[in-house]
Amino acid sequence: MLESVNRSKDWRDLVVALDDHHLDTLARAAAATVASLRSSPDAPRSAISPSALRELIRSRALCPEDGDDLETVIDDFAATVWRHGVVVSDVACVAHLHPPTLVPAVAAELAIAATNQSMDSWDQAPAATEVELYLMDWLAELIGFDRSASGVMTSGGTASNLLGVTLARSAAAARLGVDVLKSGLPDEASDWRILCSDQAHFSIQRAAAQLGLGRDAVVAVATTASGALDVAALDEEIARQSRAGARVIAIVATAGTTDLGAIDPLEAVAARARHLGCWLHVDAAVAGAFLLSERLKTGLAGIDLADSVTIDFHKLWWQPFNASALVVRDESNFDLLRVRSDYLDRGDELEGMVNLVGRSLDTSRRFDAAKVVVSLRTLGRRALAEMLEHLVDLAVFAGETIDAEPDLSLLARPAATTCVFDAPGASEDDLRQVQQRLLARGEMVLGRTQIKGRAALKFTFMNPLATTEDVERVVRVVAAELRALRAAS
């Protein structure tokens, strides 16, 4: 068997190695892959139906007995899969916080995958460990934390929020002398509450569910018309919980809500958390990027008062999924998570060999920090700030355009890169149909949500290449679709 494999030549060319022969193969494959993307549709998506798409995807053998030529597979995959994806760089792809990506980041992904460092231990990622720590220190400084801060990269805002709430849970248990990770939730945990606004991301509820507290442990506090947490309502809720004998273990403030882009009043919220002696987590998945802009960062005053902060690089930093960070004000909080492992993190390594497994909820973990750092170094702060300011300006411009459009009504003045609206006299089902028809025909990937119980459509501007003309066009298309729907009914 060993001999036969040593003779076999076919698959040996397909393993990544760093000699000239293997790198030449990789270079050809990379070139073929980029070329194959030329078959992507010149629209936000193709108009293929869900059932036809399923049939097309399943018309190829998933794992044939013998493989096919690499370039043939790449081209066929492009023709069947990439061709029927959504085109995030299309200016009419405006549904979600779902960005086009940056060339330096995408190029870095190639090296990340080819070198395949794993962030759990220093001996799987020596330089990568240092790069991630450097990025986390830089991010902590951007937030305004001092040198006792640090952080860790995670797979997304949901994971970062989970990690933040996990630390909050451990801190609450530690006050009772309980190591919750070892012994499980104490009886008192049934009285634990997490407060956040009614516009907070659903990942806070999911975190509480995951942690055994249950979604019901998350108490939603009313927001003002702008979507930001109402401090008076927070005070009332704190008083109500106190009267009920519940214990608030964490307040989660949101910096950049998904629909309205609202930023909670961080300083006021921090004062309440301090008074309660509870954990303050700031979910800045969306608006964390505003720290790069002198003009936009003013809304984030007080973020440095948080115990933990979520920032998503795969939103307004234009990184490919996945790339998020959880930054903690005090690095020693990660001790709450630490798990010694016989094979990964023994604690008897040479000085300076840091094993990051102890601060992550993952074990094997890709070197996503690389793409962020290559992007930051290539673009620089100023360009990123300009791109961001441009998108916020586009959202404001979209709001003005909608205001001027009699068939549509703006629901709130845009605060970040989203713009929510509905239409006079349109039912929830009308709005649903507009969104679904534009999606089905491949003309627009439009957002749809609920704002305080009211159905709404949503633009999320993520593409810095978009112009005011593009915004005018997408507004016109939506208005025309609504009129067409009415005319048909």
Residues 382-401 that bind a copy of itself (CB under 8 A): 382-383, 386-387, 389-390, 393-394, 397
Q: What is the smallest separation between the CB atom of 384 and a copy of itself, expressed in angstroms?
A: 8
Is 345:335 a contact under the CB 8 Å cutoff?
no
Long-range contacts of the stretch 108-114 (C-beta < 8 A, 24+) = 108/370, 108/371, 108/374, 108/375, 109/320, 109/371, 110/30, 111/370, 112/366, 112/367, 112/368, 112/370, 112/371, 113/366, 114/16, 114/26
Choose which of 21, 75, 86, 149 interacts with a copy of itself (CB under 8 A). Answer: 86
Binding to a copy of itself by residue 177, rule CB under 8 A?
Answer: no
Q: Which is nearer to a copy of itself, 270 or 394 (CB)?
A: 394
Q: Total binding residues for a copy of itself by CB under 8 A?
A: 196
Residue 98 touches a copy of itself, criterion: CB under 8 A: yes
- Give 367's Cβ-side CA count (13 Å radius): 26
Q: Output the CA–CA distances (angstroms, integers) from residue 263 to 165, 252, 299, 391, in the order listed.
A: 19, 12, 7, 17
Closest to a copy of itself by CB, 23 or 239: 23
Instruction: Measure the CA–CA gap between 61 and 390, rounded to whole angstroms.
Output: 45
413 scored as a contact of a copy of itself (CB under 8 A) = no
Q: How far apart are CA 284 and CA 369, in angstroms?
A: 18
| Nearest distance, CB of residue 438 and a copy of itself, angstroms | 10
Name residue 194's beta-bridge partners.
Answer: 218, 250
Interaction with a copy of itself in 1-20: which residues (CB under 8 A)? Answer: 1-2, 4-6, 8, 10-18, 20
Among positions 318-357, residues that touch a copy of itself (CB under 8 A) are 318, 320-322, 339, 341-344, 346, 348-354
Tokens standing for residue 439: 């999606």
Rg over alpha carbons for the chain, rounded to the nearest Å, is: 25
Minimum distance between the CB of residue 274 and a copy of itself, rounded to whole angstroms? 27
Please report, as residue ranges, which positions from 432 to 461 form the binding site for a copy of itself (by CB under 8 A).
432, 436, 439-440, 445, 447-450, 458
Q: Are strands 247-254 and 192-197 parallel, antiparallel or unpaired?
A: parallel
Rounded to whole angstroms, the Cα distance separating 193 from 196 reads 10
CB 365 → a copy of itself: shortest distance, Å? 6
Binding mask 299-318 for a copy of itself (x = CB under 8 A): -------------x-x---x
Could you say whether residue 262 binds a copy of itself (CB under 8 A)? no
